[in-house]
Chains A and B, each alone.
Chain A
Amino acid sequence: MNPLRRFNLRDQPLPTITTTTGPTIPGWTFPLVQTLTATTLLTTTAPTTWHTHPLFLTILATLTALVLLRPTPATAGLLLTATGALLWTTGTAPLDPRILWLAPLAHTLWRATWWAAHVPPTARTEITALLTGWRRTAAAIGTTELLALAAWAVTTLPGLEAAILLGALALAALAVLTLPREP
């Protein structure tokens, strides 16, 4: 006899409540996407020579586990900051072209963390719910890509410092606009 069965009152899980919805995906998909995107962000930002370094592997495992176990916006922001630090340390100055795909990946991690924070692994999420606001997301990522391409073009021209200052001011204005205000 399986000794666990002595203490397990339920041999079978309790029945579920039937809800009629559209096609859904399970809630554990979001931690999975989180893990994949976090690992991809960190490993692709770091140079390949670091991939076997114990310190890097420890940091990678710690950050991934942190964002997986505590899927909050703060941990996702911490992981993005770490990605930025790696990009600054190992990327090509003044603008690393990898930002063209790192920025959408960072946004994917951000959204996956939000979903993982709000949806339990046993929950079901409608695919149409995932796709709500896709136009807004596409517009934001498209704008970012255009900015990145513009910055990439500008960095190859003379007067680099002024362009960076101008871009920084624009982004600072953007950040100030996102500050919470009284409705």
Chain B
Amino acid sequence: MTTPTTDRPPAWTPTTTRHAATATGLVLLAAAVLTGRPDLALLAAPILLTTLWSATPPTRPTTAHLHQPAGETHAGQLTATLTLHPAPTAPLTHLRITAPGHRDTHTVIATPTTREIPLRLASVRTGPQDTFHIALRAYDTSGVWEQPPTDLHGARRLVLPATTPLGPVPLPHALRGLTGPHTSRRLGDGTELRDIHPFQPGDNPRRIDWRTTARRSPDLTTPYTRRTLATAEATAMLVLDSRDDVGPDIRTWRNHGTRRPDDPTSLDLARHAAASIARQLIESGDRVAMEDLGRRRRPVPPASGRRHLRRLTHALALAHPLDDRATSHTIRPPQIPSGAIVYLFTTLLDDDTTRLVRAWRTLAHPVVVIDTLPTLHPIHQPHLRLAWRITRLERDQRITDLHHTGTPVIHWATHTHEPPPRTHLQALARRTHHHPSPTPRTTRTPR
């Protein structure tokens, strides 16, 4: 992806250096003549000589191209390459490079020939991101001629969330479908042995266990077959609470101040967590759907496969808060596919999400809440510290209530001395595997 060059760069203009050098030279020259002191004139001689050397302007303007790599962009990979085509006698280029959340970068570089300058942002944010804005100004060797500033704008880019490899993640108790990566509790075609049973009409003759038949029915009047447990797939619903996007600096909440681009916000953590869990589930062959609480539109339907993972990743990257939380509508519980597990990614800063969890639990959907509030920076202002104390107490109460309802809450942003979230997810997956919910009624596999 290449941004067009500086369109129609302005012509070269003389700087005040030329006029000042001439004036200084004439004054000292007149003084030298009037006083009979040639050393006064010699004081200005180098300045006059170098100015005289740059009597004519460069023949053509300095131009630039900004090349941004095409394709998918992941966090920390916001790069571009600036290509400068300098004028023949203008080897100095002054670059002023700006980007949201970054300090302005001023650099004066030598451009004797065409030169490429790699640029990189320090942003770890995901989603739609504004990139570079470059103001370029060129000078000739002596600084007598200058090319007025020309602007280059980098394109807005969609930064996709990265994923972290996870181990086993919690699955729904009720597996659905006739095939899949998991062994269900239903009787059917599969690999895991359920029992050995007398042959019945409809059984596959290839599954007759001849050893058991010879042992139990030596006269071969009743053949015995090996019956297996059917396979099935799990369905997971990723519910992203994109209504607020808060950073680790509490002073920047409610859109005050400038958020640091090198600090991931709650939405960045939610995107990362959702993408990691979606990848783990889809690589296991399960079906994943997605719903965005902040937007009233159709959810991403449940599906599996690599293409669906890309669709989910893009949907996650495009999720963003639309309006202020105070004016947001009361959210309705999204429709969850039957037997699906719900992964809710939220900051738990209001009661709406806990109300949703209760509704889902009423419908017997297992829910895993991923707490995406980032680890906050120390708060120094007394009023903010008091406000956060109240907010934290309310939030802790919500988490306690969720624990009481049997809903696990996993903090995605952990300290270095704490176990990573994948450990919690693995432990939770083991627990649900060892203590499944009541077994549903066994049915025969339709043939």
Contact = CB atoms under 8 A, between A and B. Distances in A.
Interface of A: 1-2, 5-6, 9-22, 24, 27, 72-74, 76-77, 80-81, 83-85, 87-88, 91, 93-96, 98-99, 102-104, 106-107, 110-111, 114, 118-120, 122-126, 128-129, 131-133, 136-137, 139-141, 143-144, 147-148, 151, 155, 160-161, 164-165, 167-168, 171-172, 174-175, 177-181, 183
Interface in B351-375: none
Given A93-B37, A140-B49, A119 B108 contact: yes
B230 interface: no
Interface residues of B, number: 80
A106 B43 contact: yes
Contacts of A17: 97-99, 102-103, 105, 119-122, 132
B49 A15 contact: no
Question: 6 smallest A-B Cβ distances: which pairs?
Answer: A73-B20, A123-B106, A77-B24, A133-B141, A15-B122, A140-B49
A contact patch SS: helix
Nearest to B108: A125
Given A126-B110, A136-B50, A136-B142, A103 B45 contact: yes
Given A132-B91, A168-B29, A119 B106 contact: yes
Interface of B: 12, 14-29, 31-33, 35-53, 55-57, 91-92, 94-95, 97-99, 101-103, 105-110, 112, 117-122, 132, 139, 141-143, 251-252, 257-258, 260-262, 377, 380-381
Contacts of A106: 43-44, 46-47
A84 B252 CA distance: 57
Contacts of A5: 380
Contacts, number: 254
6 contacts: A15-B262, A19-B107, A107-B47, A114-B17, A136-B141, A164-B38
Contacts of B143: 111, 114, 118
> Which secondary structure characterizes the binding site on chain B?
mixed
Given A87-B37, A164-B38, 6 more contacts: A11-B377, A16-B103, A19-B105, A74-B16, A106-B44, A129-B108
Nearest to B90: A132
Contacts of B91: 129, 132-133
A78 B106 CA distance: 29
A178 B18 contact: yes
A181 to B, nearest CB: 7
Contacts of A183: 12, 56-57
A118 B139 contact: yes
Contacts of A129: 91-92, 108-110
Contact of B92 (A87, A132, A155): A132
